């Protein structure tokens, strides 16, 4: 498999490191060998159609930039370089989906399968991308866009196949879950805990997308489209953040056996994000930066999955799961 990586931030670097470290595992377990033939980001590109050397790749990861890069754009590399799979790992832009959207379309149009962690293109153009992939006969996977390392989409689409999914409830944002957990533990107000989270690097300098619930709403939009088959738009998700949650409200909830979580809900009738009471012993009531999703289904009733929702190494778990899946799909086609 020849791979192009577009985007060389935390996620891209984590992926390169995992791919290099685990190349023998993939060969032995799945019969899959991979070469990275190009890495490109906003600063330039490095290309070797025979596969970049592991030494060079690891040096690039350590130094955090593309050593010896030439001035080329992502779209140019995707168009010009021969490859099986493009990893689209640029930052999320939920307004335009760019530059990810153009990267993905260009890849598909040149016959390349796409694996992405980028919510932007999925929120802006889910149907269009699904259809384009189908039309061009390429694979399209986006497990890492929801839940980080938690295989939410794969579980629904490739494992719970006997079930009809009736509703999805998710704690899908580690930053807000950390803040709510700390507010409960310390009986502390939102502002103080947010500052603490920023100092620890858990919350961003501008945390508005997280705390206003917009990041969760993006993930609910993606789940509604991919798992429930609803043509849902981000603007249709009724969204409320956590800045209005008080220590008093959390205390009252706990006295009644509940905890307050920022929960995203997707069903055929509801698309919603907001603070909700979750029974304290329910598996969805995960602490700290963990993510969790409960599927309400017709046969198994409820299945909950949880794990780490962020982190470069954790995200590479989903990206590489998708890669093996794409490899198997391509191999079966012959």
- Chain contacts with a second copy (rule: CB under 8 A): 18, 22, 25, 29-30, 149-151, 154-155, 158-164, 281, 283, 286-287, 290, 292, 297-308, 313-314, 316-321, 323-325, 332
DSSP structural state of residue 225: H
Q: Hey, how many other C-beta atoms are within 10 angstroms of the C-beta on 246?
A: 12
Cα distances (Å, whole numbers) of residue 334 to 84, 133, 241, 249 = 13, 18, 48, 58
Quote the Cα angle for 31-36-37, to 5°: 125
> Least distance from C-beta 149 to a second copy, angstroms?
4
Residue 130 or 236 with smaller CB distance to a second copy: 130
Cα dihedral 241, 246, 252, 255, rounded to 10, equals: 90
Residue length, the chain? 334
3-state secondary structure of 184: helix
Distance from C-alpha of 121 to C-alpha of 104, rounded to nearest angstrom: 8
3-state secondary structure of 286: coil
Residue 161 or 256 with smaller CB distance to a second copy: 161
DSSP structural state of residue 120: H
Q: Which two tokens stand for residue 184?
A: 């409960």
Residue 44 or 321 with smaller CB distance to a second copy: 321
Distance from C-alpha of 32 to C-alpha of 99, rounded to nearest angstrom: 30
> Least distance from C-beta 70 to a second copy, angstroms?
31
> Least distance from C-beta 86 to a second copy, angstroms?
17
Residue 124 or 258 with smaller CB distance to a second copy: 258
Half-sphere exposure of 80 (CA within 13 A, CB side): 14
Peptide bond into 99 cis (omega under 30): yes
> Least distance from C-beta 38 to a second copy, angstroms?
21
> Least distance from C-beta 333 to a second copy, angstroms?
9
**Sheet hosting strand 140-141, strand order edge to edge:** 44-47, 35-41, 2-6, 85-88, 113-116, 140-141
- Is 219 considered catalytic here? yes
> Least distance from C-beta 157 to a second copy, angstroms?
10
Find the catalytic residue in 219, 240, 261, 268. Answer: 219
Concatenating the DSSP letter of every residue in 17-39 gives: HHHHHTHHHHHHHH----EEEEE
Residues serving a catalytic function are: 219
């Amino acid at each position: 498999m020849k791979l192009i990586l577009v985007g060389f931030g935390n996620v891209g670097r984590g992926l390169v490191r995992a791919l290099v470290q685990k190349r023998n595992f993939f060969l032995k377990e799945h019969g899959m060998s991979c070469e990275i033939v190009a890495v490109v980001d906003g600063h330039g590109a490095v290309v070797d159609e025979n596969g970049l050397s592991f030494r060079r790749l690891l040096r690039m990861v350590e130094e955090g930039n593309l050593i010896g890069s030439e001035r080329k754009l992502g779209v140019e590399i995707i168009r010009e370089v021969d490859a099986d799979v493009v990893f689209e790992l640029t930052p999320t832009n939920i307004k335009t989906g760019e530059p990810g959207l153009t990267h993905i379309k260009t890849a598909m149009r040149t016959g390349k399968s796409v694996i992405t962690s980028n919510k932007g293109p999925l929120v802006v153009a889910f149907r269009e991308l699904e259809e384009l992939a189908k039309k061009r006969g390429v694979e399209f996977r986006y497990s890492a866009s929801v839940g980080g390392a938690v295989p939410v989409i794969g579980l629904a689409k490739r494992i719970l196949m006997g079930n009809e999914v009736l509703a999805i409830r998710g704690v899908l944002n580690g930053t807000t879950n950390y803040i709510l957990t700390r507010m409960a533990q310390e009986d502390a107000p939102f502002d103080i805990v947010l500052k603490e989270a920023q100092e620890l690097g858990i919350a961003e300098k501008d945390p508005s997308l997280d705390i206003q619930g917009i990041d969760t709403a993006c993930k609910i939009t993606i789940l509604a489209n991919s798992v429930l088959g609803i043509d849902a738009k981000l603007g249709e998700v009724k969204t409320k953040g956590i800045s209005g949650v008080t220590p008093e409200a959390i205390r009252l909830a706990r006295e009644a056996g509940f905890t307050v979580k920022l929960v995203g809900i997707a069903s055929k009738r509801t698309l919603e994000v907001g603070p909700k009471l979750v029974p304290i012993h329910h598996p969805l009531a995960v602490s700290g930066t963990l993510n969790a999703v409960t599927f309400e289904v017709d046969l198994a009733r409820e299945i909950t999955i949880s794990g780490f929702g962020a982190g470069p190494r954790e995200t590479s778990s989903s990206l590489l799961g998708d890669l093996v899946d794409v490899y198997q799909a391509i191999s079966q086609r012959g």
